[in-house]
Protein backbone atom coordinates (compact mmCIF):
# COMPACT_ATOMS: atom_id res chain seq x y z
CA UNK A 1 0.00 0.00 0.00
CA UNK A 2 1.34 3.41 -0.99
CA UNK A 3 1.07 6.28 1.40
CA UNK A 4 2.63 8.69 3.86
CA UNK A 5 3.53 7.64 7.36
CA UNK A 6 4.23 9.89 10.30
CA UNK A 7 5.46 8.67 13.62
CA UNK A 8 4.70 8.80 16.40
CA UNK A 9 1.03 9.80 16.49
CA UNK A 10 1.42 11.47 19.89
CA UNK A 11 4.64 12.95 21.24
CA UNK A 12 5.38 14.61 24.56
CA UNK A 13 8.51 16.61 25.25
CA UNK A 14 9.81 18.89 27.96
CA UNK A 15 10.30 22.54 27.22
CA UNK A 16 13.79 23.30 25.94
CA UNK A 17 14.30 19.97 24.17
CA UNK A 18 14.64 19.55 20.43
CA UNK A 19 12.39 16.92 18.89
CA UNK A 20 12.38 15.34 15.42
CA UNK A 21 9.17 14.27 13.70
CA UNK A 22 9.36 11.55 11.10
CA UNK A 23 7.74 11.63 7.65
CA UNK A 24 8.16 8.85 5.09
CA UNK A 25 6.38 8.36 1.76
CA UNK A 26 6.47 5.50 -0.73
CA UNK A 27 4.44 7.27 -3.41
CA UNK A 28 7.55 8.29 -5.35
CA UNK A 29 6.48 11.93 -5.04
CA UNK A 30 9.06 14.61 -5.66
CA UNK A 31 7.67 17.37 -3.45
CA UNK A 32 7.16 17.15 0.31
CA UNK A 33 5.78 19.62 2.81
CA UNK A 34 5.40 20.27 6.53
CA UNK A 35 2.40 22.10 7.96
CA UNK A 36 1.36 23.11 11.44
CA UNK A 37 -2.28 23.18 12.53
CA UNK A 38 -3.51 24.84 15.71
CA UNK A 39 -7.01 24.29 17.16
CA UNK A 40 -9.73 25.86 15.04
CA UNK A 41 -7.27 27.11 12.47
CA UNK A 42 -6.12 26.23 9.00
CA UNK A 43 -2.80 24.72 8.08
CA UNK A 44 0.31 26.89 7.92
CA UNK A 45 3.30 25.96 5.78
CA UNK A 46 6.58 25.47 7.67
CA UNK A 47 8.96 24.10 5.02
CA UNK A 48 8.72 22.44 1.64
CA UNK A 49 11.08 20.53 -0.60
CA UNK A 50 10.82 20.15 -4.35
CA UNK A 51 13.71 17.71 -4.80
CA UNK A 52 16.29 15.83 -2.78
CA UNK A 53 18.92 17.99 -1.05
CA UNK A 54 16.86 21.14 -1.55
CA UNK A 55 14.22 22.77 0.64
CA UNK A 56 12.60 26.17 1.07
CA UNK A 57 11.18 28.08 4.01
CA UNK A 58 7.43 28.38 4.21
CA UNK A 59 5.46 31.01 6.07
CA UNK A 60 6.43 30.05 9.64
CA UNK A 61 9.92 28.48 9.44
CA UNK A 62 11.39 30.14 12.53
CA UNK A 63 12.29 27.59 15.19
CA UNK A 64 12.13 24.65 12.79
CA UNK A 65 14.64 22.82 10.62
CA UNK A 66 14.38 20.09 7.98
CA UNK A 67 16.53 17.84 5.82
CA UNK A 68 15.85 16.00 2.56
CA UNK A 69 18.63 13.45 2.10
CA UNK A 70 16.36 10.84 0.50
CA UNK A 71 13.39 11.25 -1.81
CA UNK A 72 11.10 9.33 0.51
CA UNK A 73 12.02 11.04 3.78
CA UNK A 74 11.53 14.60 5.06
CA UNK A 75 12.06 14.83 8.84
CA UNK A 76 11.17 17.98 10.75
CA UNK A 77 13.05 19.12 13.86
CA UNK A 78 11.22 21.37 16.28
CA UNK A 79 13.94 23.25 18.10
CA UNK A 80 13.90 24.90 21.50
CA UNK A 81 13.79 28.24 19.67
CA UNK A 82 10.17 27.60 18.62
CA UNK A 83 8.13 29.62 21.11
CA UNK A 84 4.84 27.71 20.88
CA UNK A 85 5.65 24.21 19.65
CA UNK A 86 2.52 22.44 20.90
CA UNK A 87 0.45 21.75 17.78
CA UNK A 88 -0.69 19.14 15.26
CA UNK A 89 2.00 18.62 12.60
CA UNK A 90 1.07 17.34 9.17
CA UNK A 91 3.38 16.11 6.45
CA UNK A 92 2.28 16.01 2.81
CA UNK A 93 3.65 15.13 -0.59
CA UNK A 94 2.70 15.77 -4.21
CA UNK A 95 3.77 14.33 -7.56
CA UNK A 96 5.47 16.53 -10.11
CA UNK A 97 2.70 16.07 -12.66
CA UNK A 98 -0.11 16.82 -10.20
CA UNK A 99 1.25 19.55 -7.97
CA UNK A 100 -2.26 20.86 -7.37
CA UNK A 101 -3.06 17.84 -5.22
CA UNK A 102 -1.29 17.21 -1.93
CA UNK A 103 -1.50 13.91 -0.07
CA UNK A 104 -1.33 14.14 3.70
CA UNK A 105 -0.04 11.82 6.38
CA UNK A 106 -2.01 11.09 9.58
CA UNK A 107 -0.16 13.76 11.57
CA UNK A 108 1.79 13.93 14.82
CA UNK A 109 0.30 15.70 17.81
CA UNK A 110 3.18 17.28 19.74
CA UNK A 111 2.70 18.47 23.28
CA UNK A 112 5.49 20.36 25.01
CA UNK A 113 5.18 20.37 28.77
Partner 1 sequence: GQSLEQPSEVTAVEGAIVQINCTYQTSGFYGLSWYQQHDGGAPTFLSYNGLDGLEETGRFSSFLSRSDSYGYLLLQELQMKDSASYFCAVKRGDYKLSFGAGTTVTVRA
Q: Applying CB under 8 A, which residues contact partner 1?
A: 31, 33, 40-45, 48, 50, 56, 58-59, 90, 94, 99-107
- Asked if 9 and 108 touch (Cβ cutoff 8 Å), the reply is yes
* Helix %, strand %, coil % of the chain (to 5): 5, 50, 50
Nearer to partner 1, 15 or 54 (CB): 54
Closest approach, Cβ 109 to partner 1, in A, equals: 8
Closest approach, Cβ 55 to partner 1, in A, equals: 11
Closest approach, Cβ 32 to partner 1, in A, equals: 10
Separation of alpha carbons 96 and 105, rounded Å:
18
Q: Helix or strand or coil: residue 97?
A: helix
Amino acid sequence: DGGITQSPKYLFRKEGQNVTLSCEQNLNHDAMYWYRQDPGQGLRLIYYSQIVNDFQKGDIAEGYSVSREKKESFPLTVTSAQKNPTAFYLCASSPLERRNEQFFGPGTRLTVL
